[in-house]
Amino acid sequence: MDMISLEYYKLGKNFCRQQYKNGGVRIFVHESIVFDVISTHHIYKEKDLKICVVKINIPKIKRVSITIYGSPTGNCAVFHGP
């Protein structure tokens, strides 16, 4: 995933698996936009749930961009809750 780049965009946040090969998610943000990264390390599950979150800082507009991916070989029950 490190080889991916987009003209006029910067990497906002990414998550790559540590234990398993392949898989991951990224959020790219236009270079003109100011953003903050929101930590998600406490809620991801290595094979089941990959998540990235950035808060977009545009005056008078409150936006959060979330990327969520569930592996087809993971435990889909993590998306259902109690």
pLDDT, tens only, 21-34: 666 788 999 999 99
**Is 2 among the domain residues?**
no
**Alpha-carbon Rg for the chain in angstroms:** 14
Q: What is the extent of the structural domain holding 44? A: 9-79
**Is 48 among the domain residues?**
yes
Q: Which residue pairs from 53-61 have beta carbons closer than 8 angstroms and sit at least 24 positions apart in sequence?
A: 53/13, 53/27, 54/12, 54/13, 54/27, 54/29, 56/29, 57/33, 58/33, 58/34
The total number of structural domains in the chain stands at: 1
**Is 64 among the domain residues?**
yes
**Is 52 among the domain residues?**
yes
Secondary structure class of 22 (helix, strand, coil): coil
**Is 50 among the domain residues?**
yes
**Is 1 among the domain residues?**
no
Which stretches in the chain have pLDDT values below 50?
none
**Is 34 among the domain residues?**
yes
The pTM for the full model equals 0.72
